[in-house]
Amino acid sequence: MSFKVTGIILKGSPLGEADRLVTILSPEQGLVKAVAPGARQHRSALRGRTELLVVNEFVLTRGRSLDRIQQADMLTSYSGLRHDFAKLAVGQYLAEVTHYLAVSHTPQPELYELLREHLRRIEALEFQPSARVTQIIAHLTQALFHLLAIAGFAPQVQHCQGSQTLISPNFVDPRWRIGFSHDLGGIMVLGQGNIRPDQRLTALELDILQMLPNRNLPELQRWSQAEQMVFSLETAWLRVEHLLRQYLEHHIGKTLKAAPLIDTLAPLAF
């Protein structure tokens, strides 16, 4: 029996001598694993259509353990990502995160559309030479937060998880810090209870965290005085991305394989 699905390739690996095993995220069926027969052959029509992040309309046939791709009509390939190493690295990172958050054979239109929206934003991103790393990491970090939110376990970044007190960043005192606990699931006032924070955040880092749930990122000029703070704006964004990455890895019990590519964009020593 054959059926049609629209979906984006999140993962692929060699199978046998010439086939390719792909994982597709479909809005109608969630994660679907399928064999792309002959896709690794040079002249195969499926070769380019089963690459990472390509969106196709698929015709699949049911198999005993795996579905098989009979036909794939490409809808978009996000070619703009493939022409820039940083954008491609971010795309691979988000594909892996989405793969961990998605569920097999369960409709997930919101997750599908959210991933595609952030891929479009990153593809269209025009870099400012002096802020290239900050821009790409900022877009990645917000996309990561939004994916966590739609999956139902974004960290709490507005209220202390111990006292439920609303927390605002204190830019007056450069020594001010707020804690973040993976186990508690968000920010915490330091010195409360016996739980040690996994990371201590500056006012700038908390301000960034509290902006992430918004639909769009604020202009970087919002933090024009960042050079006068404890960390530069670029370093603050990198630290927040690392924080959310570690939070995700803590909850899924796995390490993101695509993360080292992001780290090559701007190595950060903690």
> Could you list the pLDDT tens digit for every one of the 270 residues in the chain?
899 999 999 999 999 999 999 999 999 999 999 999 999 998 898 999 999 999 999 999 998 889 999 999 999 999 999 999 999 999 999 999 999 999 998 999 999 999 999 999 999 999 888 889 999 999 999 999 999 999 999 999 999 998 999 999 999 998 999 999 999 999 999 987 788 999 999 999 999 999 999 999 888 777 766 555 657 899 999 999 999 999 999 999 999 999 999 999 876 544
Q: How far is it, in rounded angstroms, from Cα 29 to Cα 73?
A: 18
Q: How far is it, in rounded angstroms, from Cα 189 to Cα 267?
A: 29
Give the predicted TM-score (pTM) of the model.
0.93
Q: How far, CA to CA in Å, does 249 sit from each of 82, 104, 173, 252?
A: 26, 20, 32, 5
Amino acid letter at 16? G
Does the domain at 2-76 match CATH 2.40.50.140? Answer given as: yes
Does the domain at 86-263 match CATH 1.20.1440.120? Answer given as: yes
Q: How far is it, in rounded angstroms, from Cα 160 to Cα 179?
A: 9
Residue position matching structure tokens 């259509």: 49
List the chain domain ranges. Answer: 2-76, 86-263
Q: Is 262 helix (H, G, I), strand (E, B) or coil?
A: helix
State how beta strands 30-36 and 55-61 pair: unpaired
The dihedrals phi and psi of 179, each to the nearest 5 degrees, come to -85, 165
Torsion angle in degrees (nearest 10) through CA of 153, 154, 158, 163: 30
CA atoms within 13 A on the CB side of 268: 24
Residue 181 in contact with residue 198, Cβ under 8 Å?
yes
